[in-house]
Structure 1
């Protein structure tokens, strides 16, 4: 099982995801979005499976500062904004094969681990 985690080192939920997989000795490829933002195709994969609205952290101060709470932008436009401003994304974005999850959802990650064990 290979896991890819997109997030920020200073984000508590991202650290929870990294710790969860480390405790189970599952290799993780961590992408610090402060250094290297997620690619458009990667974000699109999450948006297609979970819906584009789930990608954005509407509680983040930057979301309100940009006026996005009243903008009514299309999901595609929101995705473009998230590419330009990675802090607008809910983190962590976790991927293992075709499975994806957004946010700290240990129960879902555990289901992935159990499924891999067979």
Structure 2
């Protein structure tokens, strides 16, 4: 497994996700979206598994501040330019990805990796 967890240090769901993998001694790379944005390649890889609209955090401060509810905008560009607009955590393992705390899905990934 080659896990990446995208999130922020303040996000409770991200902390739970990190703990889930730490308890199982599964190494991961944590990318703090408050410090570093997602690359276009990472975003495209994630979009192979999840819908673009599901990735946008419509309850975030950035969404409200930019008044995106009432605007037409390029969603992919908005996510690349405003990483705090991404719903967290995003867990990526190669071409697979999840949004939010999804332990049942990750357990499947882990069992597949052990085969």
- State the TM-score, normalized to the length of structure 2: 0.91
1:82 is aligned to: 79
Q: Is the CA contact (8 Å cut-off) linking 2:6 and 2:91 kept in structure 1?
A: yes
Q: Pick one of 87, 90, 95 that aligns with 2:92.
A: 95
Quote the residue 1:113 is aligned against: 110
1:66 counterpart residue number: 66
List alignment gaps of at least 5 residues for structure 1. none
Higher helix share: 1
Which 4+ stretches in 1 moved above 2 angstroms? none
Any unmatched runs of 5+ in structure 2? Answer: none
| CA apart distance, 1:62 | 2.2
TM-score, scaled to structure 1 = 0.89
Q: Distance in 2 between matches of 1:65 and 1:36?
A: 20
Give aligned pairs, total: 115
